[in-house]
């Protein structure tokens, strides 16, 4: 038996949208269950996100510290952003976010991990890229920042310290946890980082134009 996720759709009898926000929405579906009963499923409709795990020659990871109001925490995270342009190439979006949030560019990009952020209550899909051969970006640092990004802190942190913080329960951003642990697993594998998927690998959860 192959252990992999598979696409499947149960019969949806009706759909309504009780909330439409600027970037996301909430849908309410009436779904036919396998036993014939009908259940309501309320969930966030999300355009998807990309993250960039930038790794330097010393094994340090670039992280940012940002306030997240829903959880009332200031979290350490990877540079990330929404795929709010329909059909946008996720690599281009990740490169943009790395530049805008940290003023960094990278010469080598790979897909590190794909995952669903909270599949029981949201359709948000996240792709984490590994960015290597990093350097300061050209030109002036991106100056325009939203209110949440205005006091963003940027640091280079040893991967081992991030792993320690994750296992100690001190770091909880899902993309950071997934990306750092996936990086550690890849580094420990016989194939190494060069065996990771190419940056333009297909993404079934969020198809895009190459």
Other Cβ atoms closer than 10 A to 142? 14
pLDDT score recorded for residue 207? 86
Q: What is the pLDDT of residues 72-106, one digit of tens each?
A: 999 999 999 999 888 889 999 999 999 999 999 99
- pTM: predicted TM-score of the whole model, two decimal places: 0.93
Q: Which residues are catalytic?
A: 149
Alpha helices (H) in the chain, listed in sequence order: 90-102, 159-167, 174-188
Instruction: Say if residue 191 is exposed, middle or buried (CB neighbours under 10 Å; 0-12, 13-18, 19+).
Output: exposed
Cβ proximity of 61 and 156 under 8 Å: yes
pLDDT score recorded for residue 89? 94
The residue ranges of the chain whose pLDDT is under 50 are 143
* Residues 102, 103, 108, 110, CA torsion sign: positive
pLDDT score recorded for residue 1? 82
């Amino acid at each position: 038996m192959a252990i992999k996720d598979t696409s499947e759709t149960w019969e949806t009898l009706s759909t309504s949208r009780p909330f439409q926000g600027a970037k996301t929405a909430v849908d309410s579906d009436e779904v036919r269950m396998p036993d014939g009963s009908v259940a309501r499923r309320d969930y966030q409709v999300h355009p998807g996100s990309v993250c960039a795990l930038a790794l330097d020659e010393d094994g340090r990871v670039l992280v940012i510290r940002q306030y997240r109001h829903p959880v009332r925490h200031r979290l350490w995270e990877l540079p990330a952003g929404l795929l709010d342009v329909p059909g946008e190439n996720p690599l281009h979006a990740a490169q943009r976010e790395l530049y805008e949030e940290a003023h960094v560019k990278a010469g080598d990009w790979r897909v590190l991990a794909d995952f669903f952020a909270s599949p029981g209550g949201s359709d948000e899909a996240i792709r984490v890229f590994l960015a290597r051969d990093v350097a300061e970006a050209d030109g002036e640092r991106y100056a325009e920042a939203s209110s949440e990004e205005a006091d963003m802190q940027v640091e280079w942190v040893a991967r081992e310290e991030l792993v320690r913080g994750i296992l100690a329960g001190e770091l909880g951003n899902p993309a950071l946890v997934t990306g750092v642990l996936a990086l550690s697993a890849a580094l420990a594998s016989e194939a190494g980082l060069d065996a990771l998927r190419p940056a333009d690998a297909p993404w079934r959860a969020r198809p895009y134009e190459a």
